[in-house]
Structure 1
Amino acid sequence: MPTALVTGATGISGNAIVQHLLGLPEWTKVVTLSRSQQIPAHPKNTHLTVDLCGATAPVVEVIKQDAQDLEYVLYCAYQADTDLDRAFEINVQMLQTFITALREAGAMNTLKRIVLVTGLKQYGVQLGQPKQPMHETDPWLEGEPWPKNFYYKQQKMLIKAAQDDGGSWSWVVTYPQDIVGVARANFMNLATALGLYASVCSSLGDGEIPFPGARKAYLAFNSWTSAKLHAEFCTWAALAPQAGNQGFNVTNGDTESWQNLWPNVVERYGGRIPPVMFPNGDTGPYGDFEAFHSVSQFTPAIALHEERIGLKGDFTGMHNEVHQQIDTVKWSQRPEVRAKWAELRDKFGLEHDSWDKATWRFVSLLLSREFSCVVSMSKARKFGWTGYVDTWDAFEETFDALEKESILPPASKLRRSE
């Protein structure tokens, strides 16, 4: 009868893991940890509030009572910061504080495995085009010309901590991609901003819902990760003996593209698909909207592989360009857009801060990759994982859940296309 502690329990990944564990009868105790928000009351859950960014002693004090019979840890804590060096320092320190606190609280006596949730920064997708498909055996991007990556440091820390404890416990690292899920008051989620964008567009003017990103992104291939499927994977990885001391890609199992998904979004929200989605080509703005364009200071990740794949010199010195034909940050502040949102919010009794907490720049980056972004699931399959979900089904399930949480307006009550 396993017991677990979940850090970052109110985030997209953590929330899905908590809900999955609470629904499994064999998991008898689930301790949750977060900085401020609370988990809804459940007889199997003990929620603890503590900031991992602070000193170790308060963390020890908070967890020591519940750490005595702890068997599994699912570490989902993450602190965002636009300063990359600062983000590195914060997230490395958080994990170090937590591991030290576990030791001082006596948790290592019963601990069996720690599952660390990271993502596709593992492969440098934030730097530009990666080698594809991405495999767990791909070399890490360390040293010049690459920026520091706290995912690598966290994994090294986890490996060393297990070794220092004599191998009495093991670790697993997951690499999900563009997670689609629900987390209340935590809107760093593509589905939330996407639903808000489509809802307002369908209710304005002629109801056209143009894809705000780049034409190349629209036609590229991508993988996504359902938060629920990832939660199932984490539970499997925590218990599967063969998964110990391994890192795994975790995606839905299909390969999708916005050229297929976007018409589904438009149909769901009762809008119109523009007859010419990109009237000004690859880089022009859509109508009178302002476009967003930026050039990364970093060399794309594929440059690490160029000699091995016979493309020596093709990518060295290049820099990734990000283009969005509608700058969603500026779009979200337009008077007519905010007025329509306010109308929908009041009409359907929605959360008042949904709009302002939606991460519009996050959407910009995800919809503006001008390259495909596909990972291999072969390793997980070989280790015995069989989970799969259709990506559009995952989006629809998430939209439905966000509507029930009063974060998104009910799509069925918005204007339907004639």
Structure 2
Amino acid sequence: MSERTVLIAGASGVIGQSAVARFAAEGWRVIAVSRRAPDVAAGAHVRHLSLDLRDSAACRAAAGAFAEVTHVVYAALYEKPGLYAGWFEQDQMDTNLAMMRNLMEPLFEAARGLRHVSVLQGTKAYGAHLHQIAVPARERSPRDPHANFYWLQEDYLRAQRTGADWSLTIWRPQVVFGGATGVAMNIVPVIGAYAAIQRELGRPLTYPGRPGGVSEAVDADLIADALLWAGEAERARDETFNITNGDVFTWADTWPAIARALGMEPAFGAPFALVDYLGGHAGVWDDVVRRHGLRATPLPDLLGESHHYADLLFGVHAPPEATRAPVLVSTIKLRQAGFGECIDTEQMFAKWLARLAERRIIPPPG
């Protein structure tokens, strides 16, 4: 293991934080690259480099730390305020490409022993944010012809891959859930904060979304396991894989399990926007933090842009007559390649909500 050093870009994000913990637990040398340090267990052998990947000069100045890197997990992401609108804007795409280039160009020069790179995409690769997609979406489908930074990053890496010794694995996870806070797309802290406010006000855990809508999820820890596997697996070399928990769910049917995990009663009513609700109850959240002795985290710092993501996932802004086929992906290719781990999605929610409580980010179950 002393010969294996992984650099994880986006180390404080929902995938990066789980990856840092997983690789460190297996004895790898871990270089965590992010502006904020990842919130991992004390004692983990992790070297954190505080870098803004938009700063090319800073990335090049840090290149001395890259010489021993053998593996890269690129999970860094730039999103604009409000989240969704930025997915269609060219400057968001250009920024994400520039961030990758700023890090990887000095790394390619310095890391002469580089063996493997993993990069994260998602179901937007299939155009799921634009139109109905095939059910299930498969990795062998032709590239969806829409502007997206995934394609910019992939083309860049494939060009660098030509003639090089390292291999590339591209990942397309479904909706990711984990323990990171203050990020663009992780709604576990959003649910935790919303539940704490409801309980403080003496209210049940009312489901804020629309009924119906079959979906898939993926646990950030499961992705971390897959990243670890791909780093050494011959059948992961130069492949693209979808990844999910292995089951399907609907939000309305899963909501009672989420409520149970929080020690609350579920309730159902008309859809409403959590962006508006949480913004109007920041003072209640501050009271919760004081009363329960939680980490002093202002609500905006806890949520990041993830409350916008929650409203998107819950379908609160979609017109009632809107109907689309579900966004479901096939994971047959990954299983046939040799990675078959899975987790029950209801158990996943309970796990992450419990971990947030253990870290004193949200109150313990009521």
Q: TM-score, length-normalised on structure 1?
A: 0.78
Distance in 1 (CA, whole Å) between partners of 2:353 and 2:290 is 19
Using the TM superposition, give the Cα deviation of residue 89 of structure 1 relative to its aligned residue in structure 2, in angstroms. Answer: 0.6
Provide the rounded CA distance (Å) in 1 between the counterparts of 2:131 and 2:188: 23
After TM superposition, the runs of 4+ consecutive aligned structure 1 residues lying more than 6 A away are: none
Unmatched 5+ stretches in structure 2: none
Give the AA of the match of 2:290: D
Q: Check 1:243–1:352 CA distance in 2 against 1; reply closer, same or farther (3 A cut).
A: same
Cα 1:354–1:234 shift into 2, 3 Å: farther
Q: SS in structure 2 opposite 1:210?
A: strand
CA deviations over 1:220-275 (Å, ceiling 9, x no partner): 2111010001000011011101111111111111111223211112233343333x
Structure 1 equivalent of residue 273 of structure 2: 327
The separation in 2 between residues aligned to 1:58 and 1:129, in whole angstroms, is: 41
Question: Residues 115, 225 of structure 1: CA spacing in aligned structure 2 closer, same or farther, 3 A cutoff?
Answer: same
Q: Which residue of 1 aligns with 2:199?
A: 202
Offset at residue 168 of structure 1 (A): 1.1
Which of residues 2, 14, 17 is equivalent to 1:15? 17
1:222 aligns with 2:236: no
Partner of 1:301: none
Kindly tell me the number of residue pairs found equivalent between the two proteins. Answer: 347
Q: 1:256 to 1:38 in 2, by over 3 A?
A: closer
Gaps of 5+ in 1: 279-285, 287-324
Output the amino acid matched with 1:367: F
Deviations 1:123-166 (A, max 9, x none): 22222432211111122222xxx4x1001111111111010xx1
Structure 2 partner of 1:233: 226
Q: CA deviation at 1:208?
A: 2.9
Tell me, yes or no, if structure 1 residue 379 matches structure 2 residue 333: yes
1:85 and 2:78 correspond: no
SS at match of 1:5: strand
Which of residues 342, 345, 360 is equivalent to 2:307?
A: 360
Does residue 180 in structure 1 map to residue 177 in structure 2? yes
Q: Which residue of 2 aligns with 1:161?
A: 160
Q: 1:12-51 counterparts in 2 under 5 A?
A: 12-25=14-27, 27=28, 29-37=29-37, 42=43, 44-51=45-52
1:261 to 254, 268, 274: 254
- 1:410 corresponds to: 364
CA distance in 2, matches of 1:39, 1:339: 25
In structure 2, the partner of 1:401 is 355
Give the counterpart of 1:271 among 222, 246, 264: 264
For 1:20 and 1:245, the matched residues in 2 are separated by: 22
- Residues 139 and 240 in structure 2, CA contact (< 8 A), matched pair in contact too: yes
Specify the code of the residue in structure 1 equivalent to 2:158.
I
1:74–1:115 Cα contact (<8 Å) kept: yes
Aligned partners of 1:33 and 1:268: how far apart in 2? 33
The Cα shift of 1:11 comes to 0.9
SS in 2 for 1:326: coil
Q: Which amino acid aligns with 1:15?
A: Q
1:138 matches 2:92? no
Change (3 A) 1:339 1:169: closer
8 Å CA contact 1:133–1:373 kept in 2: the answer is: yes
Task: Measure how far apart 1:185 and its partner are.
Answer: 4.1
Residue 149 (str. 1) matches residue 148 (str. 2): yes
Alignment of 1:49-68 (within 5 A): 49-55=50-56, 57-64=57-64, 66-68=65-67
Q: Which residue of structure 1 lines up, in the alignment, with residue 285 of structure 2?
A: 341
Deviations 1:7-30 (A, max 9, x none): 1111111110010011013x2x11
In structure 2, what residue type is equivalent to 1:223? Answer: E
Q: Contact conserved, 1:201 with 1:271, CA < 8 A, in 2?
A: no
**C-alpha deviations, 1:52-82, integer Å up to 9, x for none?**
1112x43232132x32222111111111124
Deviation per residue, 1:332-376 (Å, 9 max, x gap) = 233xx4443233221112233352231321110011175422211
2:67, 2:107 within 8 Å by CA — same for their partners in 1? no
Label 1:273 to 1:182 Cα distance change in 2 as closer, same or farther (>3 A): closer
TM-score, with length taken from structure 2: 0.88
Residues 63 and 409 from structure 1, CA distance in 2 versus in 1: closer, same or farther, beyond 3 angstroms? same
SS in 2 for 1:382: helix
Q: 1:79 to 1:399 in 2, by over 3 A?
A: same
Q: Is the 8 A contact 2:10 2:74 kept in 1?
A: yes
Which of 124, 129, 137 matches 2:127?
124
